[in-house]
Chain A
Amino acid sequence: MNGMDGMAAYERRCRQLLRAYPRHYRERRGSELLGTLLDAARPGCRRPTMRDGWDLVRGGLATRLRHRPGLWRWIGYRFGVVAAAADGQEAQRLWARDDLLSPWFRAKYAVAHTLVHLPWMYGPALATDISGWYVVGSTAGMGGIWLILLLSTRTAREQLLAKHGFQPDGTALAPGDAASDDRGDDPAVGRRRRTGGLLVIDRR
């Protein structure tokens, strides 16, 4: 095992740890963080020390917490009461973008809307003696809602992205918007495009 292999293993491990950071942060700062980690690596080491690894994870989680919307705005956004997760703050707008582009968005969307519809679907049956056909009807209704949700998630995602100022692919609607100027800088996907006016082509 030579030094190059060791450094490649080190870099791979760092990329994994950087996933603790939110997607938008990795896109904007990820390659810089990775560069600093590689600069600081001891020769021959194949993985960050426990201390350095924990420091990265803690930093990533703290950044995620710092960029989240407040509890009530989050609840309003998740359950469709308010359109925008952002309260005029850029970090929250980017949080919403991360959420909407996440592969988990469809599941989160479906669960949230199911929770909204459950009480009125099954509530009467639980509160009274109604059962049988009512429950069958409610279940069919819930199935219909799920079908609508499945078919409408993409549209909902695009509408919500537009409300936060983004195109369906996550790039900014407004030209020159710093929010998405740095897309593609994410070290977790191993490519880098443009960073603050600096064009770098570095496919790994």
Chain B
Amino acid sequence: MVLREQSYLVLLALSDGPLHGYGVIKAVTELSDGRVRLGAGTLYGALDRLSGEGLVTVAAEEVVDGRHRRYYELTGPGQQVLADETARITELARRARARLARPRTAPGMGT
């Protein structure tokens, strides 16, 4: 299963333990070094998709300062998909580094 970057980052954010919506947004921003800032609409769309696929589940609920929070956590299949996707990205990065490290060949001289 190939994940979209946002879904991958949401799964990765949850790999440390259960988080509520805003916790996921903050974790994704940190993980992406500020490059990906999830809006609430995008986040809940991703959480709905991932829940539908059985990768994420609701761990707990609470009300803090009158605000309703649901905590999400990875399921077993979610952890597996995250590990597989991380291995795929790692392998891709390894190949990319090897390719970039090779000296560039002039046109027509490659084999």
Give chain A's interface residues, CB within 8 Å of chain B: 29, 31-40, 51-52, 55-60, 62-63, 185, 192, 195-198, 200, 202
Question: When the two chains form their complex, are residues B41 and A32 in contact, meaning their CB atoms are under 8 A apart?
Answer: no
When the two chains form their complex, are residues B45 and A35 in contact, meaning their CB atoms are under 8 A apart?
A: no
The answer to whether B20 touches A36, judged by C-beta atoms less than 8 angstroms apart, is yes
Question: Which chain B positions have C-beta within 8 A of A39?
Answer: 20-22, 67
Q: Chain B nearest CB: distance from A31 CB in Å?
A: 4
- Give B contacts to A, CB under 8 Å: 20-22, 25, 39-45, 48, 58, 61-63, 66-70
Q: A63-B48, A198-B61 are in contact. Are A36 and B22 (CB under 8 A)?
A: yes
What secondary structure prevails in chain A residues at the interface with B? helix
Say yes or no: A195 contacts B61, CB within 8 Å. yes
Q: Are A63 and B25 in contact (CB under 8 A)?
A: no
CA distance A62 to B43 in the complex (A): 13
Q: Are A56 and B63 in contact (CB under 8 A)?
A: no
A-B contact pairs, 10 of them (CB 8 A): A32-B70, A33-B21, A36-B20, A36-B43, A38-B67, A55-B41, A59-B44, A185-B68, A192-B68, A195-B68
A59 & B67 in contact (Cβ 8 Å cutoff): no
